[in-house]
Structure 1
Amino acid sequence: MNFKKYLAISLIALAITSNLAYGDETYSDESTQITSYSTSYNKYTNNPFGYQIVLPKYLILNEDIVNVKSRFESKNLVVEVLYDDFNNTLDTKYSYNIYGNNGIKRNDEFEVTAEYEHPFGGVSSHITLYERRKLKGDEIDRNYYATIAIPRTSKEIVTVFIKSAAPIYIDYIMPSFKFIDKSGKMKEDKVFEPVKKQFDVLTQEFYEQYFEKNDKIDFGIFEPTFPTYQYRLVQLENLYNYNFPVTLTYNSFVLPFKSAYMEKAKELGKVVEYTLYTTDMIENKEKDITLEIIEGKYDDYLDSLAESFNEYDFPVLFRINNEMNGAWVLYSSYFVGKDTDLYIECWRYIYDKFKEKGVDNLIFVWNPNELSFPNFSYNNYLSYYPGNDYVDVVGLTAYNTGNYYKGETWRKFEEAYDAFYYDYESHFKHPMMITEFSCSTTGGNKSEWFVDMFNTITKYEKIKIAVLWNGQDYDMTKPTKTVSRNYRLDQDDNVINALIEGFKKFK
């Protein structure tokens, strides 16, 4: 098949209609440079990652997270260049190409139109072309995609990710690519910081008390029966002699705003960490509805939710689509075209809808998982950041899962949180919270783990709230109900005593 003929719907109009151009300007520092290549193209050199790529001059470069990717953009076209180093991991170029594309193929919203090998700079590269429907209401929707995985070795890959408003002709967009010797050290990523918001009075007071002026850590809790029933939470607070100011609940677009339940939380003075997943049950199957939300098909739901939050008139920690960089959630870019822009657009759509409706009691919490699965650059947590205007608090999540499952290991609190807290701290000036965490029973001494946690958590100065998870995970491979990870906080006297003593330090 002649793929060039299949793809050769001209993109020349994009260059003509766009006025976002570098022209003959050059840009250079020790790590990356832009130089003029011809009248229509620039050459971008990335020394630390060891490559050169030629791209149209009308594309604007963004290096906010240059350690993850270099992004070139116009109104109609996006080109991202990503580097993956799989040394000291089990991944290779083969697993990257096969597993990396499986998520796209499992989503009916996307269609792979071609997949083949083609040389770039003398290197045989894996090309995948795919597309989705154009979103209604979007005048310009970049719904045509290409990924070009160019291996330096079997363990090192540079990927060129393209999304366009018109079918893609790769040789026009990227007429040249080659590897060069690596040199120098990569510059630092941009540091993000929140924009000050106009919250209502109660929400502003909560934000100041618990995030801006808090010189200690306050603990919240997830109790599965709350707020449906109050007695279990009250029982736990009496048991530990500790008042939990924050409780956690989970919701999706299947569920309406449960006014009675939320009012119970409000009556007890509990600020709810309200988790909302962009999923719905369609034809008895759970489905991600990112595209439908952006199209406006769920505006009635969002309008109703906004009205409910306005009537609620009490602070809410609003967490949308947490752990988005994990392949266990349907809204991850692993399933949604490897396109983190869609996650961001959906987040902003919801945020703007609530702002339009005058909602001013939501504190927006952005919460990746501690590790990315798959651990590929296109799925890096930073690629999902919605922007400074849209995020008030950065959330962290890491559990000590124990060792029930193969590959899992018992981890001290510090071993879990050191690994990524300091990375987050270097990228964000936002206040932080642990949105959910706990310790399993299998693999070590649970009471000692909590003693150590209380002694260690204070070293993470930006963390102001930490929400304990009081529940259980189940092994769904067993014929009978079997607990795989027991995160319960109240089933062992030693654990209970460790919590009682620990909470005393934080009153």
Structure 2
Amino acid sequence: MSLKKIFAITFSLLILSINFAFAEENSTILTPYSSGYNKYTNNPYGYEIILLDALELKEDIVSVKSRFESENVVVDILYDNFENSLDNITTYINYGNKGILRNPDFVITREYNHNFNGTNSHITLFERRKVKSDVPDRNYYAMIAFPRHNKEVITVFIKSAHPIYIDYIMPSFKLTNKAGTMKEDVIFKPVQKKFDEKTSVFFDNYFINNEKIDFGIFEPTYPTYDYRLKQLEQMFDYEFPVVLLYNSFVLPFKTDYMNLAKEQGKVVEYGLYTTDFIDGREVDITLDIIEGKYDDYLDRLAQSFNEYDYPVLFRLNNEMNGEWVWYSAHLVGKDTDLFIECWRYIYNKFKEHGVDNLLFVWNPNEKSFPGYAYNHYLNYYPGDEYVNIVGLTSYNTGNYYIGETWRSFAESYDHFYYDYVKRFEHPMMITEFSGASLGGNKSAWFEDMFNRITQYDRIKLAVLWNGQDYDMTKPEKPVSRNYRIDQEQDVIDAVRTGLERLK
């Protein structure tokens, strides 16, 4: 072999070695591939994909998904690992599609297995009606699942304003060996807003410059029987500055209720769900809102908030990553962009009307159900401009239901509070929480909670939930989770002592 050939081989090996080291150091790489296409390599998750070069790469939450986007097309590449769960590739496909099938606004048009250039995949094509005419509406969908093995899958999720031709958008995909460490996600930061004077004072006093933690309350009879709240405040020797009320698009702005809360100096945590009752059943109206069908309702609501002239903690569509709410993307085409569009639509509608007394509270559930990457809570984040406060929700549910266990306050909150702290610079609040009676010592749970909650120094407000859940599967509808804090004397004593200490 000639020296020239040996040198060429040695040089090639050196280049390959450098490229491999470069690939490990750079966890994701985007390079030109051919005319009109780029190659994207994700080393930590182990795949390569060829995509149209007109698609712009976004890696804000690259630990969850890599996004490629143009005006007409979005491609999300998601990674799921089910090693420590009951899920596998079969449940992922079948259970995921059940969510689509439950929503009449979405139709599965084809489902089939396909060998994609030597890599097996399962493809689901589905679509919905168009709801926007002024901009491209990506209402055609393709979910392409590439299982590495039974417990690990890469999903390419395509959304397009036109019928999807997969081979044109992504002519090649292959699984590769995993290497390197995933790069960091962005840190989300609130945008400073100009609120009216009363709202600014409340925001500053309770969230920005608050060196302690304050507590609000949900009392199910308030304000219809407002004397119950007064009894609670006397019982606990504590004046709750915030009360929680629930609303949906079925209900108008309850002027009398809101005015009573204002007269009593209570700031309302105004929960609003994008649901309505149509033909005798509750339905999600995300698409209808985006389409403008509820503009009259939103206009009246904005006017009511303007006339109200008092601070409001506006909690829109909380626990959106839980399949028990109709507006969860699991039930709305697996498309979290629709949740975000709906959120921004409502936000901008209020902005058009000059509403300046709403503090927008974005509030996922502690865990995502189902726990698939397309339903990850970060996919629902509407953007820094649209969120003033990050809300947290977790309950010690007790053990009435199979699969639920008694958890301490730290077991309920540690696992996601410290994740939120790394990802968000927003002030935080616990929007609702409590401990159930069945499964452990309830008074000891509250004693421990009051001792530990001050360790979560980013949380400035926590709203106690004084209510009960019922088992609706049984004729007698027994209490399944008793979250009341005003029944057992030892619980009353524990709550009163804890509130007194943290005043």
TM-score range relative to shorter protein:
over 0.9
- For 1:219, the equivalent position in structure 2 comes to 215
Query: Does residue 149 of structure 2 align to residue 153 of structure 1?
Result: yes
Query: Does residue 420 of structure 2 align to residue 424 of structure 1?
Result: yes
Answer whether contact 1:28 1:34 (CA < 8 A) is retained: no
In the TM superposition, 1:42-441 aligns within 5 A as: 42-441=38-437
Query: With structure 2 as the length reference, what TM-score do the two structures score?
Result: 0.95
Q: State the one-letter code of the partner of 1:468.
A: L
- For 1:4, the equivalent position in structure 2 comes to none
The CA deviation at 1:433 is 0.2
SS at match of 1:419: helix
The structure 2 residue matched to 1:39, chosen from 35, 38, 42, is 35
The CA deviation at 1:137 is 3.7
Q: State the one-letter code of the partner of 2:257.
A: Y
Answer whether contact 2:23 2:43 (CA < 8 A) is retained: no
Answer whether contact 2:119 2:173 (CA < 8 A) is retained: no
Q: State the one-letter code of the partner of 2:377.
A: Y
Q: Sequence identity, in percent?
A: 68
Answer whether contact 1:60 1:72 (CA < 8 A) is retained: yes
**Structure-2 separation of matches of 1:60 and 1:304:** 39
The structure 2 residue matched to 1:470, chosen from 459, 466, 470, is 466
Q: State the one-letter code of the partner of 2:358.
A: L
**Structure-1 separation of matches of 2:228 and 2:249:** 27
SS at match of 1:415: helix
**Structure-2 separation of matches of 1:29 and 1:273:** 46
**Structure-2 separation of matches of 1:442 and 1:506:** 27
The CA deviation at 1:380 is 0.1
Gaps of 5+ in 2: 1-21
Query: Does residue 453 of structure 2 align to residue 457 of structure 1?
Result: yes
Query: Does residue 17 of structure 2 align to residue 30 of structure 1?
Result: no
**Structure-1 separation of matches of 2:153 and 2:421:** 28
**Structure-1 separation of matches of 2:312 and 2:218:** 15
Alpha carbon RMSD of aligned pairs, Å? 1.1
**Structure-2 separation of matches of 1:148 and 1:388:** 31
**Structure-1 separation of matches of 2:117 and 2:435:** 50
Query: With structure 1 as the length reference, what TM-score do the two structures score?
Result: 0.94
**Structure-2 separation of matches of 1:244 and 1:218:** 8
Query: How big is each residue's C-alpha offset from its partner over 1:423-466, in whole Å with a ceiling of 9 and x where there is no partner?
Result: 11111000000000000000000000000000000111110000
SS at match of 1:249: strand
Residue range with higher mean Cα deviation, 88-97 or 28-37: 28-37
**Structure-1 separation of matches of 2:323 and 2:284:** 13
Runs of 4+ displaced beyond 4 Å: 26-29
Answer whether contact 1:27 1:34 (CA < 8 A) is retained: no
Answer whether contact 1:472 1:488 (CA < 8 A) is retained: yes
Answer whether contact 2:24 2:43 (CA < 8 A) is retained: no
SS at match of 1:152: strand
**Structure-1 separation of matches of 2:226 and 2:276:** 28
The CA deviation at 1:121 is 3.8
Answer whether contact 1:469 1:488 (CA < 8 A) is retained: yes
The CA deviation at 1:139 is 2.9
**Structure-2 separation of matches of 1:59 and 1:29:** 24
**Structure-1 separation of matches of 2:78 and 2:134:** 27
SS at match of 1:37: strand
Gaps of 5+ in 1: 1-25
Answer whether contact 2:24 2:180 (CA < 8 A) is retained: no
SS at match of 2:360: strand
Q: State the one-letter code of the partner of 1:306.
A: A
Q: State the one-letter code of the partner of 2:211.
A: D
